[in-house]
Structure formats: C-alpha cells, structure tokens
Amino acid sequence: MSEETKSFEPTIIGFTCNWCSYRAADMAGTARMKYAPNVRLIRLMCSGRLDPTFVFKAFANGADGVLVSGCHPGDCHYINQNYKMLRRFHLMKRVLAQMGIEPERIKLLWASAAEGAIFAEEVNKFVEQVRALGPLNWHPGNGAASTVHTPMSAEEVPA
C-alpha cells in the first residue's frame, strides 16, 4: 500500500436491515466493540428494500464503497425478501463492473441481531479492502472534466 492510500479514509455507505444487521451494529456499539468509523449506516426495514438506485447514487455522490447487509438466508423477517436482494446484488455487481467500479467496493454481509462481533470485524475488513483500492472520486462530466480539450492519439499527417 502506498503512503497515500494508507492515510486515505474511505467513505462507506452501509445499508442495514432493521431486524438484524442494524441491531448487530447497535449491539457492537452497546458492547463497546471498536470498529472503523468510516461506515455511515442507513437503516432500511429490510434488505429487500434496497433499490439499486441507492447504491448507484451513493457512488455517484462520492462514496468509495457500499455495504449491503441483511438477515441470513432463511431468516428474513418478511419471509424471503433477502433473497430478492441477493439476486439484485449479483446483477448490480455486474453492471457496476462494466461501469468501471471494482467489485471489491461493494460487499454483501449477512449478520443476525446477535452477531455484533462479526459485524464489527467484517466492517473493519471491508474498510481496509476499500482503503487499499484508493478513492473512487466519481466525477464524470462535471466542471473541468467536461471542458478539457481531448488529446488525439495519432500524429498529425500533412494534407
């Protein structure tokens, strides 16, 4: 890791489910377990509520990584919505890769309400993974980038 990447603090948006991973995070907090402060948690009622738009918007607006977490397969409070999220996650990852966003910038984590320690550990791992990739700093078409004069690759040939 370069010096620059070491000092880089990634911004990570974490989508958590009200019934499991949000409580796992809460439990990690009340048990005073320490984990990286880089994750900004957003509570959803269910991981199945995760519209891929949220993830695209997070990246477009400056997130370096996105964490999506929900109940273990079979444990969904709403029967099977976490499977819907699973399917979306797989497809979303393919689309993001085609957009040039490294698959390591997005993580899926199953964590029950009792798994505060696992949640904290996985968040730490993910933060290091994103830190190693460096900033994403998404800025297509904004300001200066859109008005530069395009360098042409080939040499000028006399007419």
Q: Which residues in this chain contact another protein in the complex, by CB under 8 A?
A: 51-53, 55-57, 59-60, 73, 80, 83-84, 86-88, 90-92, 94-95, 98-101, 138-141, 145-157, 159
* Size (the chain), residues: 159
Distance CA 63, CA 57 (A): 9
**Residue 143, token pair as written in the block:** 């300001």
Query: Least Å distance between CB 7 and another protein?
Result: 22
* Complex with another protein: residue 25 or 55, whichever CB lies closer: 55
CB-side exposure of 88: number of CA atoms within 13 Å?
17
* Complex with another protein: residue 27 or 50, whichever CB lies closer: 50
Helices marked H in 79-154: 81-98, 116-133, 143-147
* Complex with another protein: residue 59 or 119, whichever CB lies closer: 59
